[in-house]
Structure 1
């Protein structure tokens, strides 16, 4: 494993602890301007996200109706009622984004798929960088507000549903994540910079509780004039 990645994982709780866990649940509150661009309403109500740590599976409840929840996997997305019956489902959900740009309207299954892979990614970082199907290497450091951040570039194989094949992860002197850059392929491939802060601890694992996504300019600086997505994370429980 990359030596820097090994130190980063240790700073976030360590592999021994991570491997002893199988699932995480968290309360999330989401906002930002992306949803309106996609023709979707967004409310400030908290929702409960459940993510499997060692396989790409996730669920969000409630979703669209107090009794509904999502079931995400890379090759299938579904919305189910509490009794298990299916409201809607889609096989090969990534193909449904073909030809989309940032203003292309999404239906509930588009949103459920995006939410599933994105929150799985966020709640398993940085540990997922050591998974099979991810190649990681260090690139030139980044200076931000007088701080020098180490940067790991990750190349994801098609085994993992995620924003884009290449993503950059920035870490401070304390080796905690500060920023995450990627292209949003399901929305035309625009460049995004996600700033993270307000770390919390849960069951021996450290993770940021606030995430803010902006368009990333050509100079690699985030355009702070427009907040695309905000995610607040609380009441995190690993099991």
Structure 2
């Protein structure tokens, strides 16, 4: 484990304490024009998200209707939409393979929307601790200077058993070891370079989370267009259950 990763883990709550967490429950909303482009405006307003921090399992409620819930499991990958009584409405194995060729206004069905958001959010809410999970590889790379600040960077490769936007990503940390940015290229949106900025860190039950996220397009020389955010994520509260 690199010195950078050790410091990041400690600042975010500590790996030993994270090992005691059995469930994460968050209240959040996702906004921005991306969801309208997919044909689902306002689909992620006022969500209750519940996840298992040990394996990639996550639910969103309500999803597409007041009495419906999306359920994502990895390895093997499957999305289900159930009603609040637990009855199956719709399900799909290997949802990643179902995505159409991407354009800015390509519509997605409910399963595809649920897959994209579920895999992404599980990883956001388990970072940086997920970097220590089996099969995940990390290494520190050259630092990055932005707005007069120098940020250290961690290159992370995720295994196939932990679905994510794409396997190879880069995370940026300031002098306080707070995450400031992450870069990735989502497979299902054509691999366009993304610069995802994390803002407003806040501590919940001893763990550091970012309560504002803005997803920007990254352009030439790795410089982000911060004048436009297709996706925003606002975290209102989070509750951790310990063993």
Shorter-normalised TM-score: what interval? over 0.9
* TM-score, normalised via structure 1 length: 0.96
Partner Cα distance (1:202, 1:115) in 2: 22
Partner Cα distance (1:4, 1:43) in 2: 37
2:191 is aligned to 189
Indicate conservation of the 8 Å contact 1:102/1:190, yes or no: no
Verify: 1:110 aligned to 2:115, yes or no. no
Partner Cα distance (1:70, 1:83) in 2: 13
Partner Cα distance (1:111, 1:224) in 2: 24
What secondary structure does 1:174 align onto?
A: coil
Verify: 1:130 aligned to 2:132, yes or no. yes
Indicate conservation of the 8 Å contact 2:165/2:185, yes or no: yes
Question: CA shift at 1:3, angstroms?
Answer: 2.1
Q: Deviations over 1:50-99 (max 9, x none)?
A: 11111000000000111111110121001000111111110011111253
2:99 is aligned to 97
Indicate conservation of the 8 Å contact 2:35/2:43, yes or no: no
2:201 is aligned to 199
Question: CA shift at 1:102, angstroms?
Answer: 4.0
**Structure 2, gaps ≥5 residues long:** none
Question: CA shift at 1:17, angstroms?
Answer: 0.9
Paired residues, what number?
A: 239
Question: CA shift at 1:34, angstroms?
Answer: 1.1
1:180 is aligned to 182
Question: CA shift at 1:22, angstroms?
Answer: 1.3
2:15 is aligned to 15
1:215 is aligned to 217
Q: Choose from 75, 78, 85 the match for 1:76.
A: 78
Q: Deviations over 1:145-189 (max 9, x none)?
A: 111100000011211100011100000000011101100111111
**Could you say what the CA RMSD is over the residues aligned between the two structures, in angstroms?**
1.3
1:233 is aligned to 235
Partner Cα distance (2:121, 2:156) in 1: 17
Partner Cα distance (1:43, 1:94) in 2: 20
| Mapping 1:51-90, distance limit 5 Å | 51-74=51-74, 75-90=77-92
Question: CA shift at 1:103, angstroms?
Answer: 3.1
**Structure 1, gaps ≥5 residues long:** none
